[in-house]
Amino acid sequence: MTETAPLTIRLNAADNVVVAHGDIPAGADIPGEGVAAAEPIPAGHKIATAPIAEGEPVRKYDQIIGCGMASGEDGHAILQRVLWGYACHPNKAGGLTTILEKSLGAAAKGGATNLTGVYKYAEPVTGKGFTFMDTPGYDPASITGQVAGGANLVCFTTGRGSAFGFKPAPSIKLATNTPMFERLEEDMDLNCGEILDKGVPMAEMGARIFRLFLGDSVGRGNQERGAGPGRQRIRALAGRRCDVRKRV
């Protein structure tokens, strides 16, 4: 039997908001939360599960991502004061409010593995294990730095539908939700939304991603093979790095 996709997603038991998995009409009951949507809630936006007074912390991932303002009655889409940073327009349209909130999601993707190294933009990555590179948030600039640092396969998660790819390093596009995957199936490689929609175990989805990696390592699969920007940007970054070392 096909499992019904959840109406909302709760990321932590201590949170006072949940995230709409799809568009929720006004008046719809939110299963397991004891509240109903007081207004239409777009997919990806947050819903208060209890009254949030003006100035009271808004919690997601059990982290404070903002403060309540105006009417914070339960069931309303949450409005927040920006703490710092900003989210780009597509992120805002998807329900993110600040760069802090987006970064919490990125941290969650990293799992529980220990961080073994932090690298500057385009710096050669020499360590093993889970490492971090300080790059801009813009897709082309970010991945360019990672490839210049030595990445030869890119695992690119996207919820909004970024189809960015690279010639020197195959980029596997992992769609985080089924509606976007269905709209952009020709540009995506794997629908990870099946974890929520069909109850696919995380371990099974991880195995699918790994099999895609193995396929790309021998030149099979990957929607963007042969596409994406040329190698000139990578060469330019690598050359610039060498020039700096020579001057030092």
| Domain spans, the chain | 8-108, 112-247
- Which pLDDT band, with edges at 50, 70 and 90, does 78 fall under? low
Other beta carbons within 10 angstroms of residue 127's beta carbon come to 10
Residue type, position 35, single letter: V
What is the pLDDT, as a whole number, of residue 145?
92
What is the pLDDT, as a whole number, of residue 204?
94
- Token look-up 């976007």 returns 180
- Given a cut of 50, whether residue 61 has pLDDT beyond it is yes
CA 167/CA 226 separation, integer angstroms: 6
What is the pLDDT, as a whole number, of residue 246?
36
- Which pLDDT band, with edges at 50, 70 and 90, does 148 fall under? very high
- Average pLDDT of the chain? 76
What is the pLDDT, as a whole number, of residue 149?
94
Tell which wins on pLDDT, 211 or 82.
211
Per-residue model confidence as pLDDT tens digits over 178-191? 999 999 998 899 99
CATH number of 8-108: 2.30.130.110
CB-neighbour burial class of residue 47 (10 A; exposed 0-12, middle 13-18, buried 19+): buried
- Given a cut of 70, whether residue 79 has pLDDT beyond it is no
Considering only CA atoms, which of 108, 106, 130 is closest in space to residue 117? 130
CA 69/CA 79 separation, integer angstroms: 6
Return the HEC string of the chain: CCCCCCCEECCCCCCCEEEECCCECCCCEECCCCEECCCCECCCCEEECCCCCCCCEEEECCEEEEEECCCCCCCCECCECCCCCCCCHHHHHCCCCCHHHHHHHHHHHCCCCCEEEEECCCCCCCCCCEEEECCCCCHHHHHHHHHHCCCCCEEEEECCCCCCCCCCCCEEEEECCHHHHHHCCCCCCEECCHHHHCCCCHHHHHHHHHHHHHHHHCCCCCCCCCCCCCCHHHHHHHHHHHHHHHHC
What is the pLDDT, as a whole number, of residue 94?
62
CA 194/CA 232 separation, integer angstroms: 37
What is the pLDDT, as a whole number, of residue 164?
73
CA 110/CA 124 separation, integer angstroms: 20
Average pLDDT over residues 220-244: 45
What is the pLDDT, as a whole number, of residue 3?
60
Average pLDDT over residues 203-215: 89
Q: How far is CA 142 from the centre of its chain?
A: 14
